[in-house]
Amino acid sequence: MKNIISIIVVLFLFSSCKKDDKKVEVPKKPNILFILVDDLGYADLSIMGSKYYETPNIDKIAKTGTVFTDGYAACTVCSPSRASLMTGQYPARHGITQFEGKRNSGQAWKERKRYTKLLPPEYKDHLDTSTTTLAEAFKEEGYATFFAGKWHLGGKKQGSLPTDHGFDVNIGGYDAGGPNGGYFSPYKNPFLPNLPEEKGLNLSMKLAQETSNFITKNKDGHFLAYLSFYAVHGGIQTTKEKWTKYRNKAEKMGIHEDGFEMERVLPARKYQDNPVYAGLIEHVDEAIGTVMKTLTDLKLDKNTIVVFTSDNGGVTSGDNFSTNQLTLRGGKGYQWEGGTRIPYFIDVPWMKQTGASISVPVSGVDLFPTLLDLSGLPLKPEAHKDGVSLKPLLLGENIDKRPLYWHYPHYGNQGGEPSSIIRKGKWKLIYYWENLNAELYNLEVDLGERNDVSASNPEIAKQMETQLLDWLKSMDTHYAEVDAEWDKAAREKWLERQRTKSLAGQERQRKKMLSPNWQPNKDWWGSEVKINSIK
């Protein structure tokens, strides 16, 4: 907590440099660079308190722009929150409440043998083309639109590629949720051709180069460039050089004997000490640096709004058990702050923000209307029904107080439980669908969500629960149902395996990765292939 607070204090010290935009010439139809990192946690950046990860290029965006300290993804997993970024709508409204996949609901979920009490509901598996997207809104205004990287909102068979939703160009985006083929060329991606001279090139850098090429081609017009990294999604990979750097750094900081502890369902990483994950983050940071340099070299940096964010919290459990969110509880897939609170930066060059910090709770649904408003374009309230423009906040003004909502009626691969959430000011209520009970947290004094105060604040808890359930009814959304054949004993046996075999297995893997002679394979996932030239 001290690390995050100290960063916020520094940001506030810089905020006094902010100027009234009335004294600054506002560009007509500014360019947009939207940077989305997959599975990047709130504390996975040095600017947000990490002492282990190194992210100077991303930090610079925060230092020159505005940091929303209470910025949230619209869901605790990827596809729903990505759809919300595109539409300005909550998952409960657009219907994509779980990540794209065929085995996440009903009988198919039961066949996975997790032995859960509830059977998750069906949900939309792709973005509906009847919904106006961020890209379509800017394309209507004459913008060239570009998408690079992870899409995960449908594919060719569903008629739901990026080019079906307003993007002129699609590099690497389809229905896959992870980097098929790994993070080094040759990539197994039907929308990302492999060039012989790029063999061994890191995927994040490849996507950045394609983004820079698009920006260069459209430097004399207006553009929306949406750079959506596959990183830092598992399976995580890096080079031997970066692994060595961060392995040595972990040793210098002090390697703990035990690196995991049990959450309610799965083991969770206790520390930021994963050298492969740290290297993967640095790959992303370097890639972002090349795009930002392109803007500067082309003299577009003063006319380009930059957004930087993530689609959900960092992975503390499940997947590759990659990171820890310091004082926040949980991570991706979880109902606690670590699952939804994310880096959320907006840099509007002509506003001279220079590191301003805003603590008003905001959501990914707000970015669609905010970017329209900042660009001087008409809002589309019939499309972005749940988002509001944050422009007043960026100008030092206020927006109307409002609750934020989440609805995730599924079991997360990372240990999250079917739940719905409302946040109002300092209060956060989590409603659990297994037992129809609620937890209440005061985030002002308990950011780690360790002290459920629903019993000592019954009126607040009841009022918030009622408001949440009424809102869900208005969304006409779907809910999990009780499995009439639920085997409680089988569930307890499954949980016991997680507490014993899974926990021990993660500890062994961590120690191997931190040992001085560790090597994942002969060529470090293909990264040691010599690159003759990069175009």
Give the pair of three-digit tokens for residue 367: 């970015």
The pLDDT, as a whole number, for residue 312 is: 98
In this prediction, residue 355 carries a pLDDT of 79
The more confident residue out of 223 and 353 is 223
* CATH class label, 2-18+31-112+127-204+226-289+306-399+500-513: alpha beta
Beta strand spans in 394-474 (E): 404-408, 419-424, 427-432, 437-442
| Of the candidates 515, 509, 415, 523, the residue with the CA atom closest to the CA atom of residue 76 | 415
The rounded mean pLDDT for the chain is: 94
DSSP 8-state code for residue 349: G
* Residue type, position 91, single letter: P
pLDDT of residue 2: 45
High-pLDDT (> 90) share of the chain, %: 91
pLDDT at 11: 45
Quick one: average pLDDT of 438-458? 98
Which range, of 19-28, 63-72, 375-384, 393-402, averages the lowest pLDDT?
Answer: 19-28
Please check whether residue 329 is in contact with residue 345, taking contact to mean a CB–CB distance below 8 angstroms.
no
Q: What is the pLDDT of residue 27?
A: 86
pLDDT of residue 5: 41
Query: pTM, whole model, 2 decimals?
Result: 0.95
Which DSSP string do the residues of 158-199 spell out, in sequence order? TT-SGGGTT-SEEES-SS-SS-TT-SBSSP--TTSPPPGGGT
- pLDDT category at 118 given cuts 50, 70, 90 is very high
Average pLDDT of span 122-130: 95
Nearest CA to 278 out of 301, 256, 247 is that of 247
> What whole-number distance in Å separates Cα of residue 274 and Cα of residue 268?
13
**pLDDT tops 50 at residue 8:** no
Domain boundaries, the chain: 2-18+31-112+127-204+226-289+306-399+500-513
Give the model confidence (pLDDT) of 270-293 as tens digits. 999 999 999 999 999 999 999 999
Per-residue pLDDT at 531 exceeds 60: no
Distance (Å, whole) CA 271 – CA 255: 9
- From CA 193, how far away is CA 36, in angstroms rounded? 22
Band (24; pLDDT cuts 50, 70, 90): low
pLDDT at residue 15, rounded to an integer: 41
Average pLDDT over residues 259-280: 97
Q: What is the CA radius of gyration of the chain?
A: 22
When pLDDT is averaged across residues 336-352 and rounded to a whole number, the result is 96
Does pLDDT of 534 surpass 60?
no
For residues 449 and 51, what is the distance between their CA atoms, to the nearest angstrom?
23
Q: How far apart are CA 458 and CA 466, in angstroms?
A: 12
H or E segment to which residue 144 belongs: strand 144-149
Q: What's the pLDDT score for residue 16? A: 36
At 455-493, the pLDDT tens digits run: 999 999 999 999 999 999 999 999 999 999 999 999 999
The secondary structure of 373-395 as a DSSP string is: HHTTPPP-TTTSSS----HHHHT
Counting every residue written for the chain, the total comes to: 535
| Model confidence band, residue 429 (pLDDT cutoffs 50, 70, 90) | very high
pLDDT at residue 101, rounded to an integer: 79
* pLDDT attached to residue 530: 66
The answer, yes or no, to whether residue 74 has pLDDT greater than 50, is: yes
The answer to whether residues 247 and 301 touch, using CB atoms and an 8 Å cutoff, is no
Averaged over 405-431, what is the pLDDT?
97
- The pLDDT of residue 26 is above 90: no
Q: What is the pLDDT of residue 389?
A: 98
